[in-house]
Every structure is written in C-alpha cells, then in structure tokens.
Structure 1
C-alpha cells in the first residue's frame, strides 16, 4: 500500500488491474487504518478514473457472496449518497412503492456513512434482520416482492472500511461503487448521483452492461429526484432535463425533505410516509422516484402511466402491506 500511495501522491493513476488487486488486498486486511484513510483521501482530492472505478468494482464483485434469486428480474433504486442533504430514506421508500405495484425489488444498501440514517439503519430499526443466504432472500421476494441486501454482508472489503468511512464522514469512492456492486445483479436500475461528472461515468459503465437503466441527478445537488429543482435524467436512449412539475406534478422545498436528526426519527418519518400519512411534499418525492423506476422497467406506455401505478401502490396501502409481509418473515 505504501508503494501505491507514493504512486498516487505523484499524481499517477492506477490501471484497472492494479485497482482490482488493491480492493482484494483491502478485503484481506493487509493495510492499516492510516494507510486506508490516506488512500481514500486521494480520491477526495482528485476525480477517480473509469479504469480505477472498474477495477475496484471487479475486486468487490470477485469477492462478493453470490446470490441466486431464482431467475427473478429485479429492480434496484439506489443513490450514491454523499450529497450532504440528509434527506429521509427516499430510495428505500420508493423501492417499497415499486414492490407494492407488483414488481420484484432487491435493494442494495448500507449504514449511512455521510448521513444520519442510511437504508440499513432504517431497515434494521424497523425490525428487518440482515441475511445473505439466497433461500431467505428468495422467500422475501416471493412473498413480499422486496428483499434487502446489506452491503457489508456481501462484500468483505466494505466491511473492512466501514468504520473508517464513518469516521471520515465525507463521501468517498466507495459511495460511487455502491450502486454498481449489487450482488443480485439487477436487471433494472434507477441510480441517483450527486454530480454530473458522476452521471457521465455511470452512463458509460451502465451502457456497457446493456440492461435498462435510468440515472438521475437533481440539478441543485441531490442524488435523487428531489422536486426542489429540475432533474437530469439519463437512460439507455439518451438524456434530458425534466422539471419538477413534469416528474412530480409540483415543486417542493428542501426543508420538506429533511430526514430527522436521529435514526429513530428517520424510522418514524419512513413509517409515516409508507402508511400514506406523509405530507404532500414527502409523498410527491417518493412517488416521482418510484414512477421513474417503474418507467425504467418498460412495462408502462409512458411516464404518466407509471406515475399512476406508483400513486395506486402508496394510496391503496399495497406498499405498506409489502413492508408488513417482509417484517413478518423476520
């Protein structure tokens, strides 16, 4: 690692193979916390290259605990995190709305490294037990239409750096990796990114995968559709900028998206929205993200049809029922 750090401090970049080997070594625990902190800090000071990102991903996927979901074509809605906005758990709620609409969702998530409450924090607080055995995950998909993959249980390298990431408290390149290493290998992905440079990198990588995807970036810095401003939307077919009115029928204020000061507060907000008792602004944001995900699956004639399906899922209680079924299986 010292040799690698020296190379990086001289403003050199890593090859894909070098990056892969580093990730394999991180998982083996061959570097100490100080070296790993220095390594992550490099990427806070300069942009990561596509070759480096691909190599890190290769390493994570090679070591990942395999998942067999019985041939289900699943959706994942995931943000890179690291936008510093401390919003409520929009992606996870949107996933449950998609499940309530009758689709299969395998959500990849982790504890919050840069926010108060990540997806894993809120799921755990509300009674979900993390697991990495395919039978348990399949049963959840069969009965609830939703399963949750807690990243450190599937990726040894993520477990190795969890404490360091929390202590640093800034987004690191691991934020960028999260959406690309879902061990369920989802057929459809809605990926939220915190800046346009990241959107371009993801566009390049996801085009190579050849699966349906949608990348979203709130132009005022959100890694999800926030409805506080316009949203950049990139799909296999191209890119466009859509207004809050086009996607969510209304504009909301940043203060409406606050995720609470503690994990317990975040969990309360989460349940309230899921039960259909959220504010109109909270509901609108969840529905917009869920609708964009449903639209990505290609089964709806146009976006408005997908939006109607999301509204029906939340307002009829089907999204909440999916969650109740999931928790009953724990």
Structure 2
C-alpha cells in the first residue's frame, strides 16, 4: 500500500521501452564496495537499459549516489535529464530525494538512525521510471520472500529478489545465495545458487570490502576497464548476470555470467560509464 502511494507521488521518468532497476535494501553492515552500481554498467554494456534509483550512503560509507558522483556523473538530474541518459547512454540514475520530494525530510532522520528503516525497504519498490524488471537485494531471507510477493502485486514483468550468503543484500561468492523469481504476478520458484554453479570461484566476504568514496571509485574503474580480474570482478559478473536474467536477455545465470564477461572484455561496460558521464553533464 505505502509503496503504491509513493509510486503515485514520485516524479516520473518517461522512457519508451523496458527498463531494469538493480538495487538493494542496504543495511546489511557488510561494507562491500558498490557491487550493484558496477554491475549496472556491465548489464547496460550487454544491452539492457538500466534505471538505477538510489541515494547517498545511509548505513554504508559510500552509497550509489556517492560513487557515481565520484566517478564524474551529474547525479542531481531532473526527469528529462534521466530520460536523456536512458536514451543516449543506456543507463540513468534517479537521485531519490529529487524524485520523492515527500521523502526529503526523512533523509536526515534516516542518517541519524543509520539502520534499515521502512524507507530503505520502500525505496526499491518505488522506481520513478516504473521499472518492470528488477533485481532487488535483501539482507534478510524472511524479508526477501515478503518483497518478492510485494513485487508480484506491483505489476512486475520479471524480477529476481536475491538474498546473499551470510545476510548480504546482493549475490555473493562466499556460499549459496537464495533467489526468488517473480514473474507476471506470481512467484513461480525459489532457488539456491552458489558461485561454482555458474562457473565462478568462491571467495570470502572480506575480499569484497569497499572503502571510502575515492577507494570505491578506483575499484569501479579497475573492474570496468578489465584491470581487476579477481573476486571483485567475479561478484560483479554474478550480479550483472542476475540483471540479464531478470531483464530477459539471458536464459540463465551461467549464460548471464558469460555475457557480463563479454561486456567488460569488449570495453562496452566502460563505454557506458563514459557515455553516462558525458550525457549527464550535457556534454554529449
């Protein structure tokens, strides 16, 4: 109910064609680097149009808005600016306070609390571009199932709600991840997926730690440019693969991983970042 109200009150971004949103509810205290943001560029490089919807850090050091700003993206765009990014760069970022004006006043309170609030959970359900395809990361297994059922009621075409091993709000490399699939109004299946099931190696959680904005910006660049070929690249491939499956571009996660790898190795993922920077700043 509350999500539907927030969707109504949001400023809408009009884009002709299917878009996917990738985000997490945060609040997992895992302090990983910006995995879903990096994966968004990889998914865009593989052909998806990604409408990312996010905010500054609430419970981590560096949120999606912080890292994108650090990379040079103009994050405070209006609906028209975001639509231009979606059209010309294949990826756009909607800075939550600009799109949910009613939520502005909650921001300082959320930072004060610093832990998961109803707003963290509502955020992913209220994409202003009305994304019908979604990957939603959730730090609690019980909440993952509830959110899968909520998405099924919000006219989602295809979504994956993921709960990472060890209570992380994205797919991880340390063990088996729980995934609920949402398709056209129902939740047809749930599955467990470990990295080795899709051709990736296991890695401990510590290998995926992020740092401050400058550190995470350097990491995103290193992964997208193909310099970083370790577990951090692997976890991005896994999460990009989930987006490619949810966006109906890949038939399964193993194929999605291969497509994600090709997106980076061909230079297309990095090119999406450069396009987004240029278009967001009005230089393209």
Shorter-chain TM-score bucket reads over 0.9
Contact kept, 8 Å, 2:145 with 2:180, in 1: the verdict is no
1:303 aligns with 2:253: yes
- Given candidates 263, 270, 283, the residue that maps to 2:220 is 270
Query: What does 1:106-121 align with in structure 2 at a 5 Å threshold?
Result: 106-121=51-66
- 1:321 Cα shift? 0.5
TM-score by length of 1: 0.80
Q: Distance in 2 between matches of 1:108 and 1:271?
A: 20
**Cα distance, 1:300 vs structure 2:** 2.8
Residue of structure 2 in register with 1:288 after alignment: 238
Runs of 4+ that moved beyond 6 A:
none
| Structure 2 partner of 1:228 | 174
- CA radius of gyration, larger in: 1
Corresponding residue of 2:157: 211
Cα distance in 1 for partners of 2:120, 2:167 equals 15
CA 63–112 in structure 1, closer or farther in 2 if over 3 Å, else same: same
Distance 2:83 2:129 in 1: 11
Give the equivalent residue in structure 1 for 2:209.
Answer: 258
Q: CA deviation at 1:279?
A: 4.1
Q: How does 1:127-276 map to 2 (within 5 A)?
A: 127-208=72-153, 209-236=155-182, 237-247=188-198, 249-260=200-211, 262-276=212-226
The alignment's C-alpha RMSD in Å is 1.4
Question: What's the offset of the Cα at 1:210?
Answer: 4.2
Give distance in 1, aligned partners of 2:199 and 2:95: 29
Aligned pair count reads 274
Asked if 1 retains the 8 angstrom alpha-carbon contact of 2:24 and 2:169, the reply is yes
Tell me how far 1:283 sits from its aligned partner: 0.5
Per-residue CA distance 1:182-214 (angstroms, 9 max, x = gap): 100112100000001111111111122242110
Cα distance, 1:244 vs structure 2: 2.0
Post-superposition offset of 1:303: 2.8
Unaligned runs of 5+ in 1: 1-53
Show CA shifts across 1:262-318 (max 9, x none). 222221222221211224100000000001110122233333222211110011111
In proportion to residue count, which structure has more helix? 1
TM-score by length of 2: 0.92
